Amino acid sequence: MAKKTKKGKITIDRELCKGCHICIEVCPNNRIEVDEELNKKGYSPARPKENVSEGEKGCVGCAMCATVCPEVAIEVYRAQ
């Protein structure tokens, strides 16, 4: 059976981010993590994970993270 994998990518504006980490909770594929380095406002922003570990799924571009972000700090890109 041919497996179609949807691919996506996100960017997070670390200076807009308020560190609420809701996006981390909603991502079904665990693609977002906490950046311990504080932003200029003094929050620990969220950042996209760089590597997909074995057994993990990559970003599928579902945009759930962007939908819940109260600061509109997340942009979602979908691969065609």
**Under the rule (CB under 6 A), what is the footprint of ligand SF4?**
8, 10, 12, 17-23, 26-27, 29, 31-32, 45-46, 59-65, 68-71, 73-74, 76
- Of 15, 9, 5, the C-alpha closest to 32 is 9
Work out how close the CB of 37 gets to ligand SF4 at its nearest, in angstroms, rounded to a whole number: 14
Work out how close the CB of 34 gets to ligand SF4 at its nearest, in angstroms, rounded to a whole number: 8
- Of 37, 16, 30, the C-alpha closest to 58 is 30
Question: Which residue lies nearer to ligand SF4 by CB, 1 or 27?
Answer: 27
Work out how close the CB of 50 gets to ligand SF4 at its nearest, in angstroms, rounded to a whole number: 12
What is the Cα–Cα distance from 29 to 33, expressed in whole angstroms?
Answer: 11
Q: What type of residue is 6? A: K
What is the Cα–Cα distance from 9 to 58, expressed in whole angstroms?
Answer: 9
Question: Which residue lies nearer to ligand SF4 by CB, 54 or 65?
Answer: 65
